[in-house]
C-alpha cells in the first residue's frame, strides 16, 4: 500500500517536470503548428546554464532559477528570429529536419564543451532529505517541485483566462486568420509565447537536473516524452497537457518500478493506444490543425 502511494508520488513529481518542460511546446504547436522536435534543447540549455552558474559563478540554486528562465527565453527569441520564423509556412518535413539539425548541433556542442558525463548539481540543504507526511516518507525536493509546478500552472491558467494577452493567445490558437483581421499581431503573440514557453522549458530543465539527469543526449532521450505529453494532451491546451504529463509520469514510474524487465515498452504502447483512441488529444480541440 505504502509503495503504491510512493510510486504515485514519484510519478506525479516526474510528471510535473514533464509538464513544465512541455507546456511551451504545446502552446506554440497549437498556435503555429510548428513541429518543433528541438524543444528539449531549451530544457537542456537551462540545465547546463544552472550547473555553470552554480559552479562557476557561485550563485545559489534558488537565485539561479530566474536567471536561467530569462536567459533561455532571450536566447530562444534569437533562434525564433533567425531559424524558426522563415519556416512557419513550410511542410512538417522541413520543420522536423530543421529541429533535428538543431538537436544534432546542440548535442555535439554540449559534448564538446561539457564532456559526455552526467552533470552534478548541488541542491540547497533544506531541500534534501525526506519529510514525513501521513506516515509516508516523501522527498523534500520532489515536494518542492510539485509546489513550483502548481504555482506555474495556476499562473498560466490565470494568465490565459484572465489577461488581455491570454485572450489574444486563445484567439490566435482558435482562428489565426480571424484573429489577424481583428487586429491582433499574431506573429508578435507567437514570438512572446515562444519565448515564454522556452523559458519555462529552461526552468524545467534546471529543476530536473537532479531528477532527470543531464548529459548531452538529454534532448534526444526525452524527446519522445515531451512530444508524447503534447500530442496526448492535445496541442494548445494547458489543462490537457498537465493531465497527460501527470498520467504519463505515473505510468512511466509505475512501469519501471513494477515491471522493470519491460523497460520503456509500456510508455510506447500506452502512447500508441492513446493516440489511436484520441487522435486529437485527451482535451484537444476537434478542429485542431
Partner 1 sequence: MSENVAQASRHHAYLRKLESWKPAEIGFWLVLVAVYFAFPTSLVFASQILITGIFAMSLDIILGYAGIVTLGHAAFFGIGAYTAGLMASHGYSDPFLGLLTAGLAAGVAGYLSSFLLSRGSDLTRLMITLGIGLLLFEVANSAASITGGVDGLQGVVIGKLFGVFAFDLYGKTAYLYVLVVAFLLFAFTRSMMLSPYGLALRSMRENKTRALAIGIPITACLTDIYTIAAIIAGVAGALLTQTTAFVGIDVLSFQRSADLLVMLIIGGTATMYGGFIGAAAFLLVQNSLSNINPQYWQFFLGILLIIMTLYLRGGVLGGLAKLAGFIRSRRNKERP
Piece of 3-11, 69-77, 146-154, 255-263 that binds partner 1 (CB under 8 A): 255-263
How many other C-beta atoms are found inside a 10 Å radius of the C-beta of residue 56? 8
Spatial separation of the C-alpha atoms in residues 40 and 108, rounded to whole Å = 14
User: 167-171 — which CB contacts under 8 Å span 24+ positions?
Assistant: 169/27, 169/31, 169/193
Cβ(249)–Cβ(12) below 8 Å? yes
Q: Establish if 86 lies at the interface with partner 1 (CB under 8 A).
A: yes
Q: Are 54 and 122 in contact (CB under 8 A)?
A: yes
| Stretch touching partner 1 by CB under 8 A, among 57-65, 177-185, 200-208, 219-227 | 219-227
Residues 256-275 that bind partner 1 (CB under 8 A): 261-265, 268-269, 271-272, 275
Torsion of CA 272, 274, 276, 277, to 10 degrees: 160
Footprint of partner 1 on 91-120 (CB under 8 A)? 92-94, 96-98, 100-109, 111-112
Least separation in angstroms between residue 98's CB and partner 1 is 4
> Does residue 288 bind partner 1 (CB under 8 A)?
yes
* Bridge pairing between strands 130-133 and 136-139: antiparallel
Q: Which positions from 150 to 189 touch partner 1 by CB under 8 A, shown as an x/- string?
A: ----------------------------------------
Taking residues 27 to 66 in sequence order and writing x for each that binds partner 1 by CB under 8 A, - otherwise, the string is: --x-----x-------------------------------
SS3 content of the chain, % helix, strand, coil (to 5): 75, 5, 20
Sole residue written with cell 519565448: 195
The radius of gyration of the chain's CA atoms, rounded to the nearest angstrom, is 19
Q: Shortest distance, CB of residue 284 to partner 1, whole angstroms?
A: 10
Binding site for partner 1 (CB under 8 A): 29, 35, 83, 86-87, 90, 92-94, 96-98, 100-109, 111-112, 220, 224, 227-228, 231, 235, 261-265, 268-269, 271-272, 275-276, 279-280, 288-289
Amino acid at each position: 500500500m505504502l509503495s503504491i502511494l510512493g510510486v504515485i508520488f514519484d510519478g506525479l513529481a516526474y510528471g510535473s517536470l514533464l509538464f513544465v518542460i512541455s507546456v511551451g511546446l504545446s502552446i506554440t504547436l497549437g498556435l503555429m503548428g510548428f513541429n518543433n522536435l528541438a524543444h528539449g534543447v531549451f530544457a537542456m540549455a537551462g540545465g547546463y546554464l544552472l550547473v555553470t552558474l552554480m559552479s562557476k559563478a557561485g550563485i545559489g540554486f534558488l537565485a539561479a532559477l530566474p536567471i536561467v528562465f530569462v536567459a533561455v527565453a532571450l536566447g530562444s527569441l534569437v533562434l525564433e528570429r533567425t531559424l524558426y520564423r522563415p519556416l512557419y509556412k513550410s511542410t512538417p518535413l522541413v520543420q522536423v529536419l530543421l529541429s533535428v539539425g538543431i538537436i544534432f548541433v546542440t548535442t555535439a556542442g554540449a559534448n564538446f564543451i561539457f564532456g559526455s558525463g552526467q552533470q552534478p548539481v548541488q541542491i540547497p540543504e533544506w531541500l534534501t532529505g525526506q519529510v514525513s507526511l501521513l506516515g509516508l516518507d516523501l522527498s523534500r525536493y520532489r515536494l518542492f517541485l510539485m509546489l513550483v509546478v502548481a504555482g506555474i500552472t495556476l499562473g498560466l491558467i490565470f494568465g490565459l483566462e484572465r489577461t488581455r494577452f491570454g485572450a489574444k493567445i486563445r484567439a490566435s490558437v482558435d482562428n489565426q486568420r480571424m484573429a489577424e483581421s481583428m487586429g491582433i499581431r499574431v506573429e508578435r503573440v507567437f514570438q512572446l509565447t515562444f519565448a515564454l514557453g522556452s523559458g519555462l522549458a529552461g526552468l524545467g530543465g534546471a529543476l530536473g537536473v537532479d531528477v532527470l539527469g543531464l548529459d548531452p543526449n538529454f534532448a534526444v532521450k526525452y524527446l519522445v516524452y515531451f512530444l508524447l505529453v503534447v500530442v496526448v494532451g492535445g496541442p494548445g491546451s494547458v489543462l490537457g497537457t498537465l493531465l497527460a504529463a501527470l498520467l504519463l509520469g505515473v505510468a512511466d514510474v509505475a512501469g519501471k518500478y513494477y515491471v522493470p524487465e519491460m523497460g520503456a515498452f509500456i510508455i510506447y504502447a500506452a502512447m500508441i493506444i492513446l493516440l489511436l483512441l484520441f487522435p486529437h488529444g485527451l482535451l484537444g480541440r476537434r478542429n485542431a490543425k
